[in-house]
Chain A
Amino acid sequence: MTTAQVSTPRSTPPAQPTEADKQLLQFAQGVELAARDLYKKAADSGKYADDELAMLTLFGEHHNSYAQAMNGLIGKAATNTRNESLYSAHVGQLASAQSAYASLQSLENTLAATNTDILGQLLGTDAAKILASIITIEARMAAVFGTLPALSLTSALNSSGNSLAPKIAQAPAAPTETTVAP
């Protein structure tokens, strides 16, 4: 058994989101709301029933939970509006069950890539932890569409998704004030 301690990093990252973090999380919330609405559209189409419908409804609820988690992180800065561009790119492909699954898998891969890109820019650790827990589930949801209705290993392991995340520069860290005794 060894002794261990958590080291103090060279510069301790903040827990709370910075101003740049808030803009990134606003974007993340928009894409999650678009995903929620796309699943709702698919579920309301009447093409699915029973367990399949329950799964699509569950996935939509997950994305709604993610949007709510963003609300908790950024409070009044939340816009609560979906990303129309992402919604429009996928809504037309929900017409048939076959194209819908391919589209929803592509959507999940896009969300995972976008949120990973955002994670790579966030300074605040609270948001980073939540986003990390969202990304792993979005990857799982993407993979599910490669395993159902029949398993395709290549499709299930397909992780190609383009990030939509904006690049937002963090403000330079404020200099630390030092009080010198007279």
Chain B
Amino acid sequence: MNNISRRDALRISGLSVFGAAFLAACGKQSGVVQSANILSEGAVTPTTAIPEGVVTDTVLLRTAASLEYSAIDLYNLILKDGMLTGDYAKLTDAITRFRDAHQTHADSVNALVVSLGGKAHTCANARMDSLYIQPALKLVTEKGNPDASRDIVALAHAVENICVQTYQGFVATLTAPTLRADSIRVATDEARHAVVLAQVLNGGYASVGPTNNEKTGKPNIASVPAAFGSLSSVLLSIGAPNADDLKPTLTLETPSLNGLIYDFVDCQ
């Protein structure tokens, strides 16, 4: 049964006529004189095709190595710039040990890369640095931040958690069971770093498990934040507090496809 009324039919036909006229005005029939000169105006710049990134075991491990170097660079900066002051200065030994552990991990992971026929990657992950670490450092070091030492430790804690999550997440994609075990072995070391930093930032028995900040409702830093290792984003509250005494919050995530270190990516 046809339910279109006479009024509907008039409306539809009106729209059709308008649409046809509009399309005609946009096309060749619009009265514009075709000219061959338009095509020859300026030289066409030759384009270079973007290499196709294929995710392989080697790419995942090179990405892991790049994160190790991001952590090493952060710890070197903390030590070189003397960013641990007051009570936090006691952490200098721990930070030094963590930095050295990340170097050991980077060397081990790169050794695996080479054994698989890949090229070792010996510099930081540029995308993770530009997306997360540099903006975080800017917040930590900005004027008016009364907790710069505390905040740099919080950043280190967040980076350790990202490293753990990256290795844990790669287990699902690595094809060889032995590589999965190697990956998680490194993750467990870095999980231990995270616990030490978590206890410095929010110590005591009551803070071991998950709790929430009463004022913001956001999760507090916890040594054991859940029963199972999470792969979700890591929240980081750092920087000078606003009028409500709330610090800006950054959201860090593990490397996405754009942050992987493909075979064609080199250190600059």
Q: Residues on A close to B: CB < 8 A? A: 1-7, 9-11, 13, 50-52, 54-55, 58-59, 61-62, 65-66, 69, 112, 116-117, 119-123, 125, 128-130, 132-144, 146-148, 151, 153, 156-157, 159
A12 to B257, CA, bound (A): 20
The answer to whether A125 and B223 touch (CB under 8 A), given A133-B229, A134-B229, A159-B192, is: no
The answer to whether A119 and B93 touch (CB under 8 A), given A5-B54, A51-B204, is: no
Q: Residues on B close to A: CB < 8 A? A: 50-56, 93-94, 97, 101, 164, 168, 171-173, 175, 177-178, 180-185, 187-189, 191-196, 199-200, 203-206, 208-209, 223-224, 226-231, 257-258, 260, 262
* Residue of B164, B204, B223 touching A136 (CB-CB under 8 A): B164
The answer to whether A136 and B196 touch (CB under 8 A), given A120-B177, A148-B205, is: no
- A116 x B227 contact (CB < 8 A): no
- B175 x A13 contact (CB < 8 A): yes
The answer to whether A58 and B208 touch (CB under 8 A), given A121-B177, A140-B224, is: yes
- A120 x B188 contact (CB < 8 A): no
A1 to B49, CA, bound (A): 12
- A119 x B171 contact (CB < 8 A): yes
Nearest CB on A from B171, distance (A): 4
A153 to B197, CA, bound (A): 11
* Residue of A10, A117, A139, A147 touching B191 (CB-CB under 8 A): A139
Residue ID in chain B nearest A158 by CB atoms: B192
Task: Give 27 A-B contacts (CB < 8 Å), ordered by A residue.
Answer: A3-B53, A4-B260, A9-B175, A51-B205, A51-B206, A58-B208, A65-B227, A66-B227, A116-B181, A119-B180, A128-B171, A128-B172, A129-B172, A130-B228, A132-B183, A132-B184, A133-B168, A133-B228, A133-B231, A136-B164, A136-B187, A137-B224, A140-B224, A143-B191, A144-B199, A156-B192, A157-B196
- Residues of chain B contacted by A148 (CB below 8 angstroms): 199, 204-205, 208
With most chain A CB atoms within 10 A of its CB, the pick from B52, B56, B196, B231 is: B196
- Residues of chain A contacted by B189 (CB below 8 angstroms): 139, 157, 159
The answer to whether A2 and B184 touch (CB under 8 A), given A58-B208, A143-B191, A147-B196, is: no
Residue ID in chain B nearest A134 by CB atoms: B228
- A144 x B208 contact (CB < 8 A): yes
Nearest CB on B from A119, distance (A): 5
- A5 x B184 contact (CB < 8 A): no
A51 to B171, CA, bound (A): 34
Nearest CB on A from B50, distance (A): 6
- Residues of chain A contacted by B172 (CB below 8 angstroms): 125, 128-129, 132
- Residues of chain B contacted by A153 (CB below 8 angstroms): 93-94, 97, 196
- A157 x B97 contact (CB < 8 A): yes
* Residue of A54, A65, A142, A151 touching B228 (CB-CB under 8 A): A65
Nearest CB on B from A178, distance (A): 23
- Residues of chain A contacted by B196 (CB below 8 angstroms): 143, 146-147, 151, 153, 156-157
A61 to B189, CA, bound (A): 23
- Residues of chain B contacted by A141 (CB below 8 angstroms): 224
- B205 x A55 contact (CB < 8 A): yes
Residue ID in chain B nearest A11 by CB atoms: B175
* Residue of A3, A6, A52, A125 touching B205 (CB-CB under 8 A): A52
With most chain B CB atoms within 10 A of its CB, the pick from A122, A129, A159 is: A129
A130 to B40, CA, bound (A): 61
Nearest CB on B from A146, distance (A): 8
- B181 x A117 contact (CB < 8 A): yes
- Residues of chain A contacted by B55 (CB below 8 angstroms): 4-7
- Residues of chain B contacted by A116 (CB below 8 angstroms): 181, 184-185, 188
